[in-house]
């Protein structure tokens, strides 16, 4: 059965409206307008309401970069927001980047909840968790805050530094930081005989490793999945595969998981979305996940 999931516990984030290839979002006390290629329908709120509500708007110079236009120059370039559920409480530093990103993907809170819930149910003390393509570390923070021994892998040094800042402001410590190509890291861990109780993968459609390694989702994901599942502890584990690619469906993700790990228990597949206050649902990626617990 295909599931549609949206975050339930956000207080510092809210999608106010989306449409006409844009989204109107509140992060803490700051309201922004950003491009959104998935929002192909018309806006629910009138344009003058968007103009009145927002503090900052992203104006693209090209398909990959642009600049932020502030209504008030006193609006900060950086600020903090928090996220919590019944198991964890974590914080993030947000920043206005030239790539329209802020350092967080709010829909991923669904996966943070799953991570913390699985770890809370594990009987393994301080389970080992591996976060691949880990960006600024939302999943790493969730795992660490839930009590796991956590390894964070990303190929870009600057975002790993950003993740480390998020660890500090979340009052956490001892996440293992690794700047490396994810596929190379996995293959080396296999040779070392390492095992993990939980693995999170959120691969981009395209990417590059620190030494020029090329990543293309449809070309490399099957190899990655076949290697990654060999790192799972047999008795107690979870795995999350999350993708944001216009060409990938939840059925593809389900097939990838089952072809690599046919013994997956409690498999769930579906689509993540954000519910706009104005009414629309904004789709933001597909997922597959499974969790095995000791009886």
pLDDT tens, residue by residue, 201-232: 999 888 888 888 888 888 999 999 999 999 99
Which two three-digit tokens encode residue 22? Answer: 């844009």
**What mean pLDDT value characterizes the chain?**
95
Mean pLDDT of all residues in 96-101: 92
Q: Report in angstroms the alpha-carbon separations of 76 from 31, 49, 217, 261.
A: 11, 22, 35, 46
Mean pLDDT of all residues in 112-123: 98
Q: Does residue 287 contact residue 4 with C-beta atoms inside 8 Å?
A: no
The verdict on pTM exceeding 0.75 is yes
Amino acid 1: pLDDT: 64
Q: Does residue 129 contact residue 151 with C-beta atoms inside 8 Å?
A: yes
Amino acid 214: pLDDT: 87
Cα 11 to the center of its chain, rounded Å: 18
pLDDT tens, residue by residue, 56-89: 999 987 656 899 999 999 999 999 999 999 999 9
- pLDDT over 90 for what percent of the chain? 89
**Partners of 84 in the β-ladder:** 89
Q: Mind listing the domains of the chain with CATH numbers? A: 2-78 (2.60.40.1180), 105-292 (3.40.50.150)
pLDDT at 92 over 70: yes
């Amino acid at each position: 059965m295909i599931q549609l999931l949206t975050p339930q516990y956000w207080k510092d984030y809210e999608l106010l409206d989306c449409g006409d290839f844009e989204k109107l979002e509140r992060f803490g006390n700051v309201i922004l307008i950003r491009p959104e290629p998935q929002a192909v329908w018309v806006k629910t709120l009138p344009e003058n309401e968007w103009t009145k509500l927002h503090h900052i708007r992203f104006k693209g110079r090209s398909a990959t970069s642009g600049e932020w236009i502030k209504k008030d120059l006193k609006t900060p370039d950086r600020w903090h927001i928090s996220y919590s559920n019944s198991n964890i409480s974590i914080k993030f530093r947000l920043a206005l980047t030239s790539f329209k990103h802020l350092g967080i993907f709010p829909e991923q809170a669904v996966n943070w909840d799953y991570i913390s819930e699985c770890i809370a149910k594990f009987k393994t003390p301080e389970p080992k968790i591996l976060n691949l393509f880990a960006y600024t570390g939302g999943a790493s923070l969730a795992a660490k805050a839930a009590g796991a021994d956590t390894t964070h892998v990303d190929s870009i040094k600057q975002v790993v530094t950003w993740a480390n800042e998020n660890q500090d402001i979340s009052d956490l410590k001892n996440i293992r930081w690794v700047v490396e190509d994810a596929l190379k890291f996995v293959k080396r861990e296999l040779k070392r005989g390492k095992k993990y109780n939980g693995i999170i993968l959120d691969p981009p459609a395209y990417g590059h490793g620190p030494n020029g390694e090329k990543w293309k989702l449809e070309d490399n994901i099957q190899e990655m999945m076949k290697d990654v599942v060999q790192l799972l502890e047999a008795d107690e584990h979870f795995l999350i595969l999350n993708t944001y690619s216009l060409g990938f469906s939840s059925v593809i993700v389900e097939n990838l998981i089952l072809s690599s790990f046919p013994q997956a228990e409690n498999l769930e597949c579906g689509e993540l979305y954000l519910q706009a206050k104005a009414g629309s649902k904004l789709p933001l990626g597909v997922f597959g996940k499974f969790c095995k617990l000791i009886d």
